[in-house]
């Protein structure tokens, strides 16, 4: 089973981009043969609730849970998520934290 | 990474204290681990969001009013983790001016090689300085393009 949780800061990503990001994540999952993406949850951190280095956070945290995969595949997936985020949202590369975690 | 999630009853933490709590958590993390503050993320949630966060929230087996959960890089010793937990619970209790037993905390280890931040896989604990040097050079090169 593969699923994804995306924590994003309120007002950081336009609603119009969320659909593109979801399509992009589904494509990354499919391209890397990580099974079907069964669920993708968006969790919006309200303004004033997210902090990075004790300053208001502009970071997105994307966690993709996948079956066990080779590290080389994981790195490809992580790079793809970071590329997707920076190209779709115009965020800085430092504003996307991606993780690919094996499902227990 | 680390990502610290803070859960509390709705409306129980005044907004002006959230920055202080995030600073306290960041300070404890950096002082104990030597990691740079730019790695430290602190997100606040009210308790009704915990169900949604079930997969990120490893759970704190406590009925404490204020709960912290840290996704931290693996490789820390049990002693270090204990120092983190005790230090953060005390720091949060101090900011909120509540008894220590109102604050509980748990941590979950995440492999550094599972996480990418700033476009690079995270360093193993203790290798942050070299990682940051490489990262800053990369950022500088990117900004000069």
Full residue range of the structural domain in which residue A91 is found: 2-102
Of A45, A96, A100, nearest to B114 by CB-CB distance is A100
CB–CB of B56 and A63 under 8 A? yes
All structural domains of chain B? 3-144 (3.30.429.10)
Supply the mean pLDDT for chain B: 89
Q: Tell me if chain B has a CB within 8 Å of the CB of A71.
A: yes
The radius of gyration of chain A's CA atoms, rounded to the nearest angstrom, is 13
A6-10, A51-55, B9-13, B126-130, range with the lowest pLDDT: B126-130
CATH number of A22's domain = 3.30.429.10
How many alpha carbons lie under 13 Å from residue A8 in its C-beta half-sphere?
Answer: 19
- ipTM of the complex in this document: 0.95
Reading chain A (104 residues) residue by residue, the pLDDT tens digits are 899 999 999 999 998 999 999 999 999 999 999 988 899 999 999 999 999 999 999 999 999 999 999 999 999 999 999 999 999 999 999 999 999 999 86
Rounded to a whole number of angstroms, the distance from the CA of B40 to the nearest CA of chain A is: 5
Q: Pick the closest to residue A58 from A90, A25, A10, A19 (CA basis).
A: A10
pLDDT number for residue B50:
66
Domain total in chain A: 1
DSSP code string of B67-114:
EEEEEEETT--HHHHHHHHHHHHHHHHHHHT--GGGEEEEEEEE-GGG
| Highest mean pLDDT of the ranges A21-30, B31-40, B136-145 | A21-30
């Amino acid at each position: 089973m593969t699923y994804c949780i995306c924590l994003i800061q309120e007002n950081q990503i336009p609603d119009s981009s969320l659909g593109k990001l979801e399509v992009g994540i589904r494509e990354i999952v499919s391209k890397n043969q990580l099974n079907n993406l069964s669920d993708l949850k968006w969790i919006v951190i309200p303004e004033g609730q997210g902090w990075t280095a004790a300053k208001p956070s502009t970071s997105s945290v994307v966690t993709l849970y996948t079956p066990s995969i080779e590290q080389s595949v994981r790195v490809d997936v992580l790079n793809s998520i970071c590329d997707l985020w920076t190209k779709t949202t115009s965020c800085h590369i430092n504003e996307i934290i991606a993780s690919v975690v094996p499902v227990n | 990474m680390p990502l610290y999630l803070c859960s509390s009853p709705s409306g129980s933490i005044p907004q002006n204290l959230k920055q202080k709590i995030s600073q306290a958590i960041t300070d404890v993390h950096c002082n104990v681990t030597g990691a740079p503050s730019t790695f430290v993320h602190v997100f606040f949630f009210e308790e009704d969001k915990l169900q949604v966060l079930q997969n990120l929230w490893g759970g704190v087996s406590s009925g404490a009013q204020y709960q912290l959960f840290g996704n931290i890089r693996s490789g820390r010793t049990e002693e270090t983790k204990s120092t983190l937990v005790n230090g953060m619970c005390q720091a949060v209790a101090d900011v909120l001016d509540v008894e220590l037993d109102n604050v509980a905390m748990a941590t979950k280890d995440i492999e550094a090689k599972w996480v990418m931040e700033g476009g690079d896989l995270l360093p193993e604990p203790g290798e942050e300085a070299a990682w940051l040097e490489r990262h800053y050079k990369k950022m500088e090169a990117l900004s000069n393009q």
